[in-house]
Amino acid sequence: MKTAIAKEMATRASAATFAPVSFSRHLLVDGANILHAWAPGRAIARRDLEAARSQLVQRLAAIHDEERVRVTVVFDGRGPELTIERPSDEMTFSVVHTPAGTTADDVIERLAAQAAEPAACVIATEDRGERETVTAAGAAVIRAADLETWIRRAEAGQARRLGALKRAGDQAWRRT
């Protein structure tokens, strides 16, 4: 039986029309936990929490776009109901704000446990209890430093690809 949050996410997803998702891995990020684990994230969050969240989401887009990984970033309680945002209008990249009284840990643990393939889920968190729970459900776990490394690798891949496209465009322009 699905939980209320999983039902709500499924209902919202089924209401939209979209092509089948071909991404085989799913990165679930405990947003606030990761922000506070990174020194730059902490510094920005102290001044402007929304800016820090936005920066995290933008950086995670590199993993989504470059490595074709489904990404779900979950932030703790915001308002009376669960909200799901799609920063890039793609069903494979979501920012979830839990309802007040429900934690990001709760949502992430449920999503990992109810995944068709829990082993395809990678959870990014520093929370020991959450790591133990999702590992018991069959998901993999990475820490904040490993997520940073993954993001940098994806960003470098994007930069290489962009450089190659620019060189090809420059060469085509010179030939005309």
Rounded to 5 degrees, what angle do the CA atoms 145, 39, 26 make? 40
The per-residue pLDDT for range 153-176, each reduced to its tens digit, is 999 999 998 888 888 888 888 887
* pTM for the full predicted model: 0.81
Q: Report whether 117 contacts 102 (CB < 8 A).
A: no
Q: How many CB atoms lie within 10 A of CB 61?
A: 19
The identity of residue 161, as a single letter, is R
The owner of tokens 């829990």 is: 118
Distances (CA, A) of 21 to 110, 114, 116, 129: 20, 17, 13, 30
Q: What are phi and psi of 48, to 5 degrees?
A: -155, 95
Q: Would you state the structure tokens that stand for residue 67, as one six-digit string?
A: 């490595």
Q: Tell the CATH topology of 4-12+20-175.
A: Rossmann fold (3.40.50)
The per-residue pLDDT for range 46-76, each reduced to its tens digit, is 899 999 999 999 999 999 999 999 999 999 9
Collect all residues with Cβ–Cβ distance below 8 Å to 77 and sequence separation of at least 6: 97, 98, 99, 100, 101, 102, 103
Question: Would you say residue 98 has pLDDT above 50?
Answer: yes
